[in-house]
Amino acid sequence: MFPTDQPITLNSVTITGPHQPRQEEILTPDALDFLATLHRRFNGRRAELLTRREEMRQRISEGWTPDFLPETRTIREDDSWRVAPLAPGLKDRRVEITGPVDRKMTINAMNSGAKCWLADFEDSSSPSWSNMLNGQVNLRDAIRRQIDFTSPEGKEYKLGGVQLVDRPTIIVRPRGWHLDEDHLLVDGEPMAGALVDFGLYFFHNAKELLRRGVGPYFYLPKTENHLEARLWNCIFVVAQDLLGIPQGTVRATVLIETITAAFEMEEILYQLRNHAAGLNAGRWDYIFSIIKNFRDRGDQFVLPDRADVTMTAPMMRSYTDQLVRACHKRGASAIGGMAAFIPNRRDPEANENALAKVRDDKTREAGDGFDGSWVAHPDLVPVAMEVFDAVLGETRNQIRTNRREDVVPDAAGLLAVSETPGSITEAGVRMNIEVGIRYVESWLRGNGAAAIHNLMEDAATAEISRSQIWQWINAGSEVGLTAGGTRTATHEWMQELMDEEFARIERSEGDRFDNALEVFAGSALAEEYPDFLTLPAYRKFLSANAPSRQELAGTPA
C-alpha cells in the first residue's frame, strides 16, 4: 500500500503527490520502472531541445525571420517517400471531439458519435496531480468498457453500445515538452509531463488496444521543429521494444501550432514517417506562437483583437492550405481546427447564429481538403458530421481525392501578419483581461476547459489574451476607445483596465481569483515576457510547505 502522507520511492521513482484512489493500479512497480527508463534515455535530449527553443526565439528577436530550411531541402523535394499507411481506427477522422480526461467527459466523448476523441492531458486539462493520475484510470477503464459515473446531483453516466469499435478511436494528447511533473522524480529530477502521460497510457493500454483491433495513438502538442519530432520517434521505438510490441504500432498526429513548425511540416512527417498519422491545424496555439515569437518585432507583427483573427485571414489561409498540401503529398491525414462554441439551449437565436458560424467554418475546412475537424461539445458533432458527410460521402478521407497540388509552399504567406484585417479596441482589451482571469481561476481549481461566454476556453486562448496585452504595451499600439478616439497602450493604463475588470467579477467563497489575477497580471504586465502562462500557474498547484527535490530524492520505500 502507498502511504497517504509522505513521499515514497519505488524502482528509483519518488512519488511526492498525495495519494489518489486506485493509484496502485497505475503507479505499479513495473510502470514506474518503465517511466524511469524513458526519463534516463530521453530527458537529456529534451533539455537540449528546450534550450534550442530559447536560442531560436533569441534569433527571431534579433531580426532573423524563419524560412524553409535549406539543409532539409532534399526531404521536401523527394517525392518518393510516404508515411505509414493509415492505421485501424484512423482511416476516417471526419469529426473528432476534444476534451479533458475527467470521468464524465470520458463517457460523454465515447458516447458522442464522433469518429475520434482527443483525450487531453494538455491545454484543456489543468495538470493537478489528481487530474493527471485519475485521467489514466479513466482511460484504462474506458478501453476495457468498465467505466461509469454518478454526478453529485445523482445523474448517472454510462457507456452505450456493445463494441469498442463502435466508439470513437482514442487519441491521447500528452503535455508539451516544457511542462514538468513535479510529483514524480527520477534521480531527484522531475519527469517531463509528456513522458509521464505517454508512458503510463502506453504501458497500461497498448497491448489491450491491439487486442481490440486498434492501437496506442497520440497527438503531439507544441512541437517547434523536426528535431523534436525525431525525439518522439526515438521514444516510440524504445517504448515498443520495451513492451515487445511491433514497430510502427504507435501512430502520432502532430499539432502544427507553432510558427517555426509551419516551415518544417514535411520534415516533421518524415522524422515520424513510420509512426506518423497526420498533422493538425492547432489554430489558437498557432496564433499564440506568432505573437510570442514576434512580440518585439514592431507593428508589422502586431495582430488586432483576438476576435478579428479568423481563419480567413491571409496568414491563416496560407497556413492551412500548406498543411493540407504537405499531408496529402505524403499520405497523411490533415485535421482541421477547433469549433469552440458551447450550445446554449436557453437562447435559440444566439444558438442558431453560432451554429451557422460552425457550419461555415467546417464547410471551409472540408472544401479546402481537410480530412476531419475538431469540436469541443457533443452537440456540435452532428453539425460537423453533416458538413463532412456532404463532401466525403462514402470516402473515408480526401488524401487521394484532394491533393491540393495548386498550393505552393510560401514563406511570405505564413508571415503575412500585417495583412490581418481588424483593429485593436478597448472592448478587445477588456475581453482579453476578463477571459484570461476567469480562465486562470478555473485552471487553478483544476478545470482546464472553461465555458466562458458560450465558448470553450483552454490554455491556448488564455495565452493569446495575455500575450496580446504584453505585445500591445511593448509596441505602443493605438487602441480604439469605446467612447471614441484612441489611446496608446501603456503598462499603467492596462493595469487600470485590469483593476476595473477584476472588480466586476462576482466572487464566491473558496474561489481562486486573487491567485488568478496574480498569475495573469504577472504574465501580461511583466517586464520580461514569460514563455508560458501555465508555468507560473503550475507553481500555484505545488504546496509551499512541500519538501525540496533534494530532500525527496532517494526517500526509501
- What residues are labeled active site? 173, 458
Are 170 and 142 within 8 A, CB to CB? yes
| DSSP 3-state of 428 | helix
The separation between the first and the last C-alpha atoms of the chain, rounded to the nearest angstrom, is: 10
Separation CA 486–CA 64 (nearest Å): 32
Measure CA 103 to chain center: 19
Q: Give the closest residue to 520 by CA, choosing from 456, 451, 430, 440.
A: 440
Angle made by CA atoms 56, 250, 100, in degrees to the nearest 5: 75
Label the pairing between strands 372-375 and 189-192: unpaired
Measure CA 502 to chain center: 27
104: Cβ contacts below 8 Å, ≥ 6 apart: 149, 151, 157
Could you tell me the CA-to-CA distances from 454 to 240, 355, 435, 548 in Å, in that order?
Answer: 42, 12, 12, 42
Measure CA 374 to chain center: 12
- Nine cell digits for residue 341: 462554441
| DSSP 3-state of 325 | helix
Are 312 and 254 within 8 A, CB to CB? no
Separation CA 282–CA 334 (nearest Å): 11
